[in-house]
Structure 1
Amino acid sequence: MRGRRAYRARFVAAGAAVVTVAAGLGVRAVADGALAKYAGDALYTVLICALVALCAPRARPLTVAGTGLALSWAVELSQLTGVPAELSRHSAVARLVLGSTFNAPDLLWYAVGAAAAWGVHTAAVASRAPGPRTSASR
């Protein structure tokens, strides 16, 4: 039963990752400026959280959100070194994953994304948790 639960959790996490990418592309298609940028920042962290949940399906929601936030902040803070900017000049993938320029407000929006991912993950776990068995549920 545990293996089946982990498989289901991975399937949901993979679906969440796909939906998150679609949401990011959708935001970019219909909005621009600060709205698109900061929504993209939040969704970047949501995507990282989905990938963490995919890799560690039994991880608690707070662990997943905290890991996603820590990775997002690490990427943003690494931009202070100039290494991501240099890599981004040579690779579109590096530009998408690492960015190029540090922007302090991004740190806040990553936290917003982590909080959103935590809320959705917590709700999903609660909906899968077995409740008290009653005669009607047997």
Structure 2
Amino acid sequence: MIPSTSVAPGDSRQAVRRPRALLAAIAAVVVVAGLSVAHWGSAPWADPVGDALYASLVYVLVLVVAPRISPSSAALITAGACSAVELLQLTEVSTSLVESVPALRYVLGTTFSTVDLLVYLAAAALAALVDRALTRTAARKPGAAARGRG
């Protein structure tokens, strides 16, 4: 399904509505890819790829919650959330939670790294670029605005 667009009365900008079912499918693919990298990835590229997938998942989840948000706003929220989780690793809160619920290590991580912060920023920016390109392509399709009103 292609994201649809609609224009609010008196608004010259196009608001993009991304179908939640499509976003859920994308999120599922990203989760499977991330778990695969975490499980089988022991190469030096595995950690940054896992971090990029983590940020991509957060970006998609932001879109699920706010499907009409702009790509730049979604990227800022993603970068902020990922950075907050990474900075939480500097405290004992993250460690305590992971010790209590081991599966939380996939959400909270275990070790702070400044490289992770850079990867999160890059991945959020890349996700926004891809999102913007896809939504612009969908907006140019004939009838896209009409589909968004229904």
TM-score w.r.t. structure 1 length? 0.83
Show the counterpart of 2:41.
31
Partner in structure 2 of residue 74 of structure 1:
84
Gaps of 5+ in 1: 134-138
The equivalent residue for 1:136 is none
Which residue of structure 1 lines up, in the alignment, with residue 24 of structure 2? 14
| Match 2:119 to one of 105, 109, 116 | 109
The alignment's TM-score, normalised by the length of structure 2, stands at 0.77
- Aligned-pair distance for 1:93? 2.7
Deviation at 1:132, TM superposition (A): 7.3
Count of residue correspondences? 130
Percent of aligned pairs with the same amino acid: 38
1:69-128 per-residue CA deviation (whole Å, 9 max, x = no partner) reads 110000001111111011111112321111122111110111121122112211121121
C-alpha contact (below 8 Å) 1:17/1:47 kept by paired residues: yes
Q: 1:25: how far off?
A: 3.0
- Aligned partners of 1:97, 1:29: CA distance in 2, in Å? 15
User: RMSD over aligned Cα, in angstroms?
Assistant: 2.2
Whichever structure has more helix as a proportion of its residues is 1
